[in-house]
């Protein structure tokens, strides 16, 4: 089980579906949501104000690309420029309805993105995610997080 997941998406139905699927599959222990990149950035800025040992940063972020206020690309730029921590610790999964092939290519080439998934996220896709190298350790038998 992933200890802490963040979902940043402006679509209410997507966030609600993720909550349901995550609970049903026991994908994560804690879920925090944000309705756009700005809200996600504010979460991180608030965490960076805390002493290091008190920070609660997600292990995995499910990120939409096309959102108002601050889009997914700007959010990724922020994370990439903020700290080396993100390159080694936080795993980003782009969850998008974009049909633009260049969005997929750009996401897959981004150093923080481990996977591009087209909406909607269904249980079968989530089960497949549990087997990718960066996520798999959270689901190994006997792994205690």
The answer to whether the beta carbons of residues 126 and 27 sit under 8 Å apart is yes
* 132 occurs within a structural domain: yes
* 65 occurs within a structural domain: yes
* 112 occurs within a structural domain: yes
* 130 occurs within a structural domain: yes
For 73-89, write each residue's pLDDT tens digit.
999 988 888 765 655 67
Structural domain span for residue 13: 2-139
| Residue 142 predicted with pLDDT over 70 | no
Check residue 25 and give its pLDDT: 87
User: Bigger pLDDT: 142 or 6?
Assistant: 6
Number of structural domains found in the chain: 1
56: domain CATH number is 3.40.50.2300
* 18 occurs within a structural domain: yes
Query: What pTM value is reported for the model?
Result: 0.91
Q: What are the helix and strand counts (H, E) for the chain?
A: 6, 5
Beta-bridge partner residues of 116: 94
For 47-70, write each residue's pLDDT tens digit.
888 998 898 999 999 999 999 999
* 78 occurs within a structural domain: yes
């Amino acid at each position: 089980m992933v200890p802490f997941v963040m979902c940043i998406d402006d679509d209410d139905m997507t966030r609600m579906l993720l909550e349901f699927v995550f609970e049903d599959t026991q994908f994560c222990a804690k879920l925090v949501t944000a309705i756009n990149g700005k809200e996600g950035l504010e979460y991180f800025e608030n965490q960076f104000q805390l002493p290091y040992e008190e920070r609660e940063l997600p292990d995995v972020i499910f990120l939409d690309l096309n959102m108002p206020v601050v889009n997914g690309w700007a959010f990724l730029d922020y994370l990439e420029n903020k700290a080396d921590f993100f390159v080694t610790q936080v795993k980003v999964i782009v969850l998008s309805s974009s049909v633009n092939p260049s969005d997929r290519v750009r996401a897959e080439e981004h150093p923080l993105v481990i996977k591009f998934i087209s909406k909607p996220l269904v249980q079968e896709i989530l089960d497949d995610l549990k087997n990718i190298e960066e996520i798999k350790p959270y689901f190994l038998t006997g792994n205690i997080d």
